Structure 1
């Protein structure tokens, strides 16, 4: 299959999607992490939170603040975040190193509590991965990369029904991309097929 015309070949000779060149941090994230499968609860909870905070902002902004988010939310330890109090929310609203949005901060705590509740059922990982589609996009151009799907809409609905907040179809599709449930690397990217779940 032909390569995407939107690919950019870096100085290292590797072809990547344009957004991967925004900063060194973005390039490293694209090359090592984005699109790799994540199954453990804490890893999925972190990405669920980060996608929620990203709503309306650039991913670069979130990535630059990722270590600050990890400090603020206790390493995204689900049990610890679930125990956070209104006083913790007030403290975090004064923390300039993160995104100071009260609804998003509260959503992280709400989602931690919902994740704990899921443990007596199928658990966060099994729930999220049950929405893996049968096929993945094969985008030849950036315009062909979806922003949502039937599965991401269904996942968002299901999570909301289980008590989760700030989990819309677009942010859930971004989550699916981030954890390799779908592969939206442009055709010809050196990372296409990196998850091992989909053919190159």
Structure 2
């Protein structure tokens, strides 16, 4: 698939089949995240957690529901069989760099997943659940690292249609 085709087929999937993604697809998704641009080139400041264990996924889902009670969905991770969390160690020189690094890493992963026919959704609400120290310990988030963002991955329960390539934003071009 060409890059623009992958971008056009990328969609926030909120209903997944129970089938786990293939190990080869997970490896490709992780590798795509690994080539994302990282601020200051500080790869050691990033930790990736992949959750495929159903009990841990259930714990995350329950923790999100507790942290975000206004969320009116039965499962805040939408039944996805894989959840990937990007955590970052603090950087005094650039305090917000972890947010940007996580966004770049996950966007690469989301586009790679679309290219592979794997559905995905970027999730910020899950991060609120990780203020629970016990959950962070269960998920083996390293001490000193803070979860910045997460994404769910799996096979979409419904077909994903290709979007039209267009710019929907008000744009100013200065020449």
**TM-score normalised by structure 1 residue count:** 0.28
As a proportion of its length, which structure holds more helix? Answer: 1
As a proportion of its length, which structure holds more strand? Answer: 2
